[in-house]
């Protein structure tokens, strides 16, 4: 089965009600490649506005979701509330949440299981630091992150993996196509060896880290790169060119 390209926008903690609506309207008005699944993740406070503004073909993602049902969890959002608001996706395990907010591999895995069990598709992020890469530990680090996920999750059909080297996020320093492809291929092999041939064949693996309209075409040609998770460039009109990079 061919994997459908997916391009997701991670707005992080940026924007205003007006700017989020403008970004959504621009996407509605653009000629987007119909062979690409587009997902937009605005800050939590703008999820409803994004959902109301975007046409139905474009999905909305939360940047986080909790691993418990509704209840006494101040400040959190449940998978059930996302479903209620027609928000069908969540980004989990972004390196900013891992490093700044202290989320562990185990927390991320637990949230991913709860979300996927309750109907939310997850963009699950992994990636190494510069120090880990320079120590030759990249593949080991990613395998450990995947192993923590596997302990919790048995159904991989609602998971999209985003490989995001931490040193490339928001730095303007994009991984080369060879660096990205090497890690993507190793993730696919890990899925084959540790989950199933089907998970290996069907799971989409996105690249994230300083993707722009200038570098996306080259990266998109690699066999195991199935799309992108885009931060900074997703706030600009050129995000459309990233979605259309295979057109
Ligand atoms: C991200 O936040 O997921 C990301 C990849 O950011 P940027 O594209 O700005 O590097």
Per-residue pLDDT tens over the stretch 163-182: 999 999 999 999 999 999 99
Percent of the chain with pLDDT over 90: 98
Annotated catalytic residue 106: no
Atom 1 (ligand 1) nearest CA: 231
Say what the pLDDT of residue 1 is: 65
Q: Please state the rounded mean pLDDT for residues 57-71.
A: 97
Q: How far is the CA of 97 from the centre of ligand 1 (A)?
A: 13
User: Which pLDDT band, with edges at 50, 70 and 90, does 247 fall under?
Assistant: confident
Percent of the chain with pLDDT over 70: 100
Of residues 56, 62, 76, the one with CA closest to residue 9: 62
85/73 Cα distance (integer angstroms): 19
Helix, strand, coil percentages, rounded to 5, for the chain: 45, 15, 40
- Determine the longest span between alpha carbons in the chain, in angstroms: 47
User: Does ligand 1 come within 6 angstroms of the Cβ of 209?
Assistant: yes
88/139 Cα distance (integer angstroms): 30
Which one of 11, 37, 94, 152 is the catalytic residue?
Answer: 94
User: Does ligand 1 come within 6 angstroms of the Cβ of 229?
Assistant: yes
Q: Are 82 and 62 in contact (CB under 8 A)?
A: yes
Topology (CATH level 3) of domain 5-243: TIM Barrel (3.20.20)
215/242 Cα distance (integer angstroms): 9
Alpha helix (H) ranges present in the chain? 17-29, 47-53, 79-84, 95-99, 105-117, 130-134, 138-152, 177-194, 197-202, 216-220, 239-243
Q: Can you tell me which atom of ligand 1 is nearest the CA of 234?
A: 8
Per-residue pLDDT tens over the stretch 1-56: 689 999 999 999 999 999 999 999 999 999 999 999 999 999 999 999 999 999 99
Per-residue pLDDT tens over the stretch 70-128: 999 999 999 999 999 999 999 999 999 999 999 999 999 999 999 999 999 999 999 99
Per-residue pLDDT tens over the stretch 68-83: 999 999 999 999 999 9
Pairing of strands 5-10, 227-230: parallel
Domain layout of the chain by residue ranges:
5-243
Annotated catalytic residue 80: no
Q: Which of 125, 164, 234 to mutate to test the pocket of ligand 1 (most atoms within 8 A of CB)?
A: 164
Q: Which residue, chain included where needed, has tokens 């989950």?
A: 195
Q: Can you tell me which atom of ligand 1 is nearest the CA of 164?
A: 5
Please determine, for residue 205, whether its predicted confidence score (pLDDT) is greater than 80.
yes
200/198 Cα distance (integer angstroms): 5
Where b means 16+ CB within 10 Å and e means fewer, 38-59 reads bbbbbbbebbebbbebbeeebb
Task: Give this prediction's pTM.
Answer: 0.98
CB-based burial label for 112 (10 Å; 0-12, 13-18, 19+):
buried
């Amino acid at each position: 089965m061919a994997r459908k390209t997916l391009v997701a926008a991670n707005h992080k903690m940026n924007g205003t009600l007006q700017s989020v609506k403008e970004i959504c309207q621009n996407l509605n008005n653009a000629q987007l490649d119909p062979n690409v699944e587009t997902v937009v993740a605005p800050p939590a406070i703008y999820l409803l506005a994004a959902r109301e503004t975007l046409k139905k073909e474009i999905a909305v993602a939360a940047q986080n979701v909790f691993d418990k049902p509704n209840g006494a969890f101040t400040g959190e959002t449940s998978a059930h509330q996302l479903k209620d608001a027609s928000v069908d996706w969540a980004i989990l395990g972004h390196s900013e949440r891992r490093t700044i907010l202290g989320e562990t591999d185990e927390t991320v895995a637990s949230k991913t299981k709860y979300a996927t069990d309750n109907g939310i598709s997850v963009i699950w992020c992994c990636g190494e630091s510069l120090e880990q890469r320079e120590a030759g530990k990249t593949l080991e680090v990613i395998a450990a992150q995947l192993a923590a996920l596997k302990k919790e999750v048995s159904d991989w059909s609602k998971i999209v993996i985003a490989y995001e080297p931490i040193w490339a996020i928001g730095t303007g320093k994009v991984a080369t196509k060879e660096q990205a492809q090497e890690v993507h291929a190793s993730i696919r092999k890990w899925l084959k060896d540790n989950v199933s041939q089907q998970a290996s064949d069907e799971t989409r693996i996105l690249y994230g880290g300083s993707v722009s309209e200038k570098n996306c075409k080259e990266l998109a040609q690699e066999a195991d790169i199935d799309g992108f998770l885009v931060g900074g460039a997703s706030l600009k009109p050129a995000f459309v060119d990233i979605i259309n990079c295979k057109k």
